[in-house]
Structure 1
Amino acid sequence: MRFLAGLFALLAAFFPGAAPAQVVDGAVPGRAAAASVTDPENILVLDLSTGGRVRIWLRPDVAPKMVERVKTLARQRFYDGLAFHRVIDGFMAQGGDPKGDGTGGSPLPDLPAEFNYLPHVRGAVSAARAEAENSANSQFFIVFQPRFALDKKYTVFGRVIDGMQYVDAIERGEPPASPSRILRAYVLADNPPPYVAQPSLPLPAPASTLLPLPTGPAAATPKSAPSPKPVRRAARKATRR
């Protein structure tokens, strides 16, 4: 053991970058501490039409503006009744658009990018956006399978910690024929009532979006559009996700 300790000290002396980060009380030096996974103020609750309740652990330590935005919109009941308008099997489910076609957002201003070290693993919740990096607003997507090509290109602001089976059950399609919906969105600190199933609602308009599509196990490329300039305005809000 002394030999190994001495070896690590020698490596650290000659190669400072090779020394592992020291973790104290669950925190890494130089990084803000993550909210507790049991902190009700940072748990987003989504009651889905797929049959149950989803809990999302929010991460204000890495994406404070996006976390504050979704909490504000949830408390304003903005997300209630909105459809998952673009759902790709093996990739992600996207929602949060009041227009239901990928071009909408909230009345609030767009947010600056908060790209961070959190990966797009299964259950990751990330902000959708347009081609412009500083264009996230209300839309978001939940990842079905790891998609690391999106890392540091989209703002991961949370992760599903309970109810992923209800996310897996979201109807696929672009748009889905019978879209799954967010029945109600809550912040857990606001003491949401028990889950109550509701009948599904009709889908608004066809979807149009520029969120990158997967082309391989760990790759994604932008979805093509008829012509860049005519769709730029729509795409700006379409990828607000």
Structure 2
Amino acid sequence: MKFVTLASAAALALALASPATAQKRPAAPAPAAAKPGGPTAADWRTPDPDDILVIDTNKGRIIVELVPEVAPLFTARVRELAKEHFYDGHTFFRVIEDFMDQTGDPENRGTGGSSKPELKAEFLFRRGADLPFAMAQDQSVAEVGFIKSVPVSTQSMMLAPMTRDGKVNGYVLYCPGVAGAARGEDENSANSQFFLMRAAFPKLERRYTAFGRVISGQDVVTSIKVGEPVPDPQDRMERVRILSDIPENERPKIRVINPAGAWFKAEIARAIAAGGANFTACDVNIPAEVK
């Protein structure tokens, strides 16, 4: 089965136009380590080690939090492939400044994938009252906020009692650091390839499955060699592992700011005050600590 590289098909040109011509949000601060004296111990959470993807590249380490709540199929696929060491040695073959870094193809050119079946699109997810959600903006008909580290927009929960399952639709906002699944012209053709956002790009929303976000190493993401395709030598993922598979004595200790905490609520208020009418969820800082 031939895979079409992200944005290579004419049918996807509108969704993934050149960054020079496409509408996009301004680049926002990437997830960063918190300053001393900031959040207290109660403001942090320890992510599930089964949901942390540790990508060691020749440029440094990138840590991605997988968020199965928004894309259970693709997060399961990435976890499965990482456990099989499928991603080790794959290059970043297509990298566009102010857009994204694409990888995960064993052919390192955008036309390959794993031997596993293609996956259905997960452009939308269902949000119920039991799904932890940190509100950033109540827009009456929509609510903008965060599920773990990913920024999302959903229908108002006021609509939930009117739906059959008591839930509403939501989708991930393509802010810096968000991880997305590459696909071909067929919406249901995601397999192994994925990309990491260098900048915000809202035209991808509801068109590409988003499955997590970089919580550490965004500076590495933006340092990856640029090209379309990238000229040799291409930067590469030397080793990709799930945190729970790393031996205890080698495992980094990770904590991320808790969206339900008081510090994060204050950070949202600060970002709204600073952004004014131009505020987006991409403006909100989500600190992480890795030791």
With the shorter chain as reference, the TM-score category is 0.5 to 0.7
Corresponding residue to 2:199 among 145, 154, 166: 145
Question: In the comparison of the two structures, how many residue pairs are matched?
Answer: 159
- AA partner of residue 56 (structure 1): V
Which residue of structure 2 lines up, in the alignment, with residue 160 of structure 1?
A: 214
TM-score by length of 2: 0.53
2:172 counterpart SS class: coil
- AA partner of residue 179 (structure 2): V
1:185 aligned to 2:240?
A: yes
Identity of aligned residues (%): 47
1:94 aligned to 2:105?
A: no
Instruction: Work out the CA distance in 2 between the residues paired with 1:115 and 1:175.
Output: 26
Structure 1: state its 5+ residue gaps.
1-35, 196-241
Which residue of structure 2 lines up, in the alignment, with residue 49 of structure 1?
A: 58
Superposition deviation, residue 49 in structure 1: 0.8
1:166 counterpart SS class: helix
Structure 2: state its 5+ residue gaps.
1-44, 125-170, 253-291
Deviation by residue 1:80-128 (Cα, 9 ceiling, x = unmatched) = 0000110001110000000011100000000000013111110000000
2:70 counterpart SS class: coil
* More strand by percentage: 2
Which residue of structure 2 lines up, in the alignment, with residue 173 of structure 1?
A: 227
Instruction: Work out the CA distance in 2 between the residues paired with 1:110 and 1:37.
Output: 32
Instruction: Work out the CA distance in 2 between the residues paired with 1:38 and 1:114.
Output: 22
Do the aligned residues in 2 keep the contact of 1:49 with 1:181 (CA within 8 Å)? yes
- AA partner of residue 50 (structure 2): E
- AA partner of residue 155 (structure 1): T
Deviation by residue 1:172-231 (Cα, 9 ceiling, x = unmatched) = 012222211000000001125479xxxxxxxxxxxxxxxxxxxxxxxxxxxxxxxxxxxx
1:70 counterpart SS class: helix
Do the aligned residues in 2 keep the contact of 1:37 with 1:57 (CA within 8 Å)? no
Instruction: Work out the CA distance in 1 between the residues paired with 2:246 and 2:222.
Output: 25
1:125 counterpart SS class: strand
1:68 aligned to 2:68?
A: no
Deviation by residue 1:23-70 (Cα, 9 ceiling, x = unmatched) = xxxxxxxxxxxxx761111011100111x2111011101101100000
